[in-house]
A and B are shown apart, each in its own frame.
Chain A
Amino acid sequence: MPTPRTLFKKVWDDHVVRSDADGTDLLFVDLHLIHEVTSPQAFEALQLSGRPVHRPDLTLATIDHGVPTADRELGILDPLSKKQIDTLIANCDRTGVELFGIDDPRSGIVHVIGPEQGLTQPGTTIVCGDSHTATHGAFGSLAFGIGTSQVEHVLATQTLPQPKPKSMSITVDGDLPPGVTPKDVILGIIARIGFNGGGGHVIEYRGSVFEQMSMEGRMTVCNMSIEAGARAGLIAPDETTLAYLKGRPYAPTGTDWDEAVDYWRTLSTDPGARFDTEYAIDAADLAPYVSWGTNPSQTVPVTETVPDPSSFSSPLDRDATERALAYMDLDAGTPMTDIDIDVVFLGSCTNARIEDLRAAAAVIEGKQVAGGVRALVVPGSGLVKLQAEEEGLDRIFLAAGFEWRDAGCSMCLAMNPDVLQPGERCASTSNRNFEGRQGREGRTHLVSPVMAAAAAIEGHFVDVREWSR
C-alpha cells in the first residue's frame, strides 16, 4: 500500500522535474503571474543574458500595485510609476506575454484575477513576485511568493529549484459564530500561532469551517498564510471549488473538464498522512478581531483592550510591544471599541472580492459614514467592480458617503496616490499593519469587511455581533 500523503505532498510530487541529492527539487510552474513592480529587473537580466521567455503561454501580466484608483483619464501622473508600467507593457509586447492592461475590465489585483479567469485551478503550482500568492491555495493549488531573481528563473525555465517545506495542519471545526468572518478566522489563527509560527511550512487548512466556507472566504484565509510566515496555505478542492470554476473563461471544458475533475477529486490528504506540525482550533472560540500593533499577530478580539507590554515575558516581545504602542499612539488598557478612526479602506487581495463588498454593503445600507471619516471602496478587479455595479452596491456605498473607486492594490501598500497622511488611523481590510505600510506614520488596524464598514459608520471600532443602529 502506498504511503499516505498530504494534499501538499501530492501537488508537490506531481511537479517534480528532477530531485537533487541535497534535497532540492526542481519544480515545474503551471502558472506564472507577473506585475509591474517585481518584474522589470527580471526582464532586463533575461534580455542581457540573451535568454527568451520559455513559456509565455503560462505567464499572465497585470498592472495593479501602482495604478491610480480614480481619475484614470488623467493617465499615470507619478513619473516613476508610469515608467514602471510602461516597462511592463513593453516587456510583454516584446516577449509575447499576455497583459491585462489598465483599461481591460479583466485587469485588477493579480490574486483576484487569476481565480476570476479560471486560471487558478486545483493541483497546480502558481508563483508570483508577491508574497500574497498563497491566496490561490484556496483552490488546492501550491502557490507561493517569489523574489525578482526567481521571477527571472521562472521566465527563463518555467521551473524553480525549491527545498522541501514542512507540512502543517490547522484544523478549525465547529460553526463560526454570527459576525465572525473568514478574515477573523485567519487573524485568530495568526494570533495563536504567531507572526512566524508557520515559518518553513506549507499550511493545509482543514475542518468543517473551511468545508462550509465560500471560495472568496477560502481565498481570504489562504491569502494571509504569509502573515504567519508560512510558505503557502491551501485547502482541498471540493464541490464548492468545482462550482466556482465551471464556466470561467480559462477553466477546462468538455472532456478536458471531466478529466481535470477526475484528477482534482484525488487531491485531498489521505487518511493516516502525517503533518510535521498540527493545530486544532474550536470555531466557537473565534471572535471579530482588531489588530492593535505593527504586525498581524498583534491582534485581539474587539471586546478586549490594548495589551500591556509588561504582560509579555520575553524582553524582545516587551520591546516590540512598547515600540508598537508608541508607533500606534495607543495606551495599554484602552478598550478596542474606544479607538477612533480617520480612514476606512475596504480593498486589497485579502478582502476586495464581490462577497466582501456585499457583506460590507449590507452593513451600511441606509446609514451614513461618521463625520470626519474618509471611507474608500477599492474593488479587487474591474470585473468585481462591474458586478457590484450590476447589483447596485456602488449606489449603497456612495449614498452612505463612501468613495467608489477603480480596481488596484491601492492603500494596502500605498504605492499609488492612495496614502494615509502622517498620524491618520485606518480601519483596513488589508493584510499588513507594518509601520508606514499605508503611508509614512499612518496607523493601520486590520479588520474584516463588516468590521470596517461598521467602524466607518460609528467612527470607532464596534462589535458587529451586537451592533445595530
Chain B
Amino acid sequence: MRPIDIITGQMAPLPRANVDTDQIIPAQFLKRVERSGFGPFLFWEWVHDAEGELDPEFVINRPEYADAVVLVSGPNFGSGSSREHAPWALEDRGFRAIIAPSFADIFRGNCHNVGLLPIVLSDDEVTRLTELAENPSNEVEINLSAQSVTSGDLVASFEIDAGVKHRLLNGLDPIALTLAHADEIEAFERSRPTWKPSLSAVPSTEY
C-alpha cells in the first residue's frame, strides 16, 4: 500500500444520504476474482440512465470532474455490505479520499485497508465543502499528518485513530504488523480450551 500524506486536487460533490455499497458497486460486478479493474462499475445504476446510456448529468460523468480525487457525500456513506469491492471501485476510478458526516463501520475499515482515506467532518463543514465542490475549479488539500482539510475559506480538522494514521502515513502492511506478535498469538492458542469449535474435530453425527 502506498503511503498517504497530502492529497491535493479536485472534489466531486455527491450530496446524498446513505449511499450504500450496492449503489457504489452492484452485486452483479462482484463475480470477478481480480483485485483491480472495478472502476468502470462504480455507481453503475447512477452513471447510466433508464436506457442504459451514460447520464451526462451524473457528477462523475461530467468532463469537468474528470480529475476529481476527493468525493464529498452525505451521512452514513458506505452503508450495507462488507464488499471491499466498493473502496476498490472508488480507488480504481481515481478517488483517494471521501469526506462525509459519517461512514458505515465496515466500509470505513475497508477504506483504511485499501489506502483510501475516509474523513468525517461536521454537517456544516460538509455542506460548505459541497458548495465549494459545485465549482469544479475549486481544489481541496487534505493533510493527514496535520489532520486538516483546506479548501477556499474552509479550514477543518478531522479525527483519526492514531494506529491507523501511522499505518497510512507509512504505507504499512497490517498483516506484517500482526505477525510481529506471532509469539503472543501462539501463547493465546496454547491456552485456548479444547472444546472450542474446530473443523478438525470428528463430527458426532453425519449431519
Instruction: Spell out A's residues near B (CB within 8 Å).
Output: 17-18, 20, 22-24, 26, 28, 30-31, 37-38, 40-41, 44-45, 49, 51, 56-60, 65-66, 78, 80-81, 83-84, 87, 98, 105-106, 117-121, 124, 129-131, 133, 144-150, 152-153, 156-159, 161, 163, 165, 195-196, 199-200, 226, 229, 231, 247-253, 256-257, 259-260, 263, 295, 316-317, 319-320, 323, 383, 413-415, 432, 434-437, 440-441
Contact = CB atoms under 8 A, between A and B. Distances in A.
B75 interface: yes
A17 B17 contact: no
Given A149-B110, A159-B178, A436-B23, 10 more contacts: A20-B163, A37-B31, A38-B82, A40-B33, A152-B175, A251-B204, A256-B195, A316-B16, A415-B28, A434-B20
28 contacts: A26-B181, A28-B189, A37-B31, A38-B83, A41-B34, A84-B32, A119-B199, A131-B106, A145-B82, A149-B174, A157-B185, A158-B185, A159-B178, A165-B105, A196-B79, A226-B80, A229-B104, A250-B201, A256-B195, A259-B193, A295-B20, A295-B79, A320-B18, A432-B80, A434-B22, A435-B22, A437-B22, A440-B26
B39 interface: no
Interface string B30-42: 1111110000000
Nearest to A258: B195
B153 interface: no
Contact of B28 (A45, A295, A414): A414
A320 B19 CA distance: 10
A129 B82 contact: yes
A414 to B, nearest CB: 6
Interface in B91-135: 102, 104-106, 109-110, 113-114
Contacts of B53: none
Contacts of B22: 413, 432, 434-437
A445 B109 CA distance: 30
A299 to B, nearest CB: 14
Interface of B: 15-18, 20, 22-23, 26-28, 30-35, 45, 50, 74-76, 79-85, 87, 102, 104-106, 109-110, 113-114, 161-163, 174-175, 177-179, 181-182, 184-185, 188-189, 192-201, 203-207
Contacts of B206: 249
B194 A317 contact: no
A18 B23 contact: no
A105 B207 contact: yes
Given A41-B33, A105-B207, A249-B207, A28 B23 contact: no
A436 B45 CA distance: 8
Nearest to A121: B197
B161 A84 contact: no
Contacts of B205: 247-249
A424 B87 CA distance: 30
Q: Which secondary structure characterizes the binding site on chain B?
A: loop
B197 A200 contact: no
Contacts of A121: 196-197
Nearest to B46: A435
Nearest to A155: B175
A428 B94 CA distance: 36
A256 B106 CA distance: 35
Given A146-B106, A413-B27, A257 B195 contact: yes
A45 B171 CA distance: 16
B163 A83 contact: no
A383 B207 contact: yes
A26 B175 CA distance: 11
Given A131-B80, A257-B195, A147 B33 contact: no
Nearest to B199: A98
A41 B92 CA distance: 15
Which A-B residue pairs are the 10 nearest by beta carbons? A249-B203, A149-B113, A147-B110, A147-B84, A80-B31, A256-B195, A40-B33, A145-B82, A57-B200, A22-B163
Contacts of B105: 165, 199-200, 229, 231
Contacts of A28: 185, 188-189, 192
Contacts of B195: 252, 256-257, 259-260
Contacts of B87: 147
Given A23-B161, A158-B185, A147 B83 contact: yes
B23 to A, nearest CB: 6
Nearest to B76: A196
A157 B194 CA distance: 19
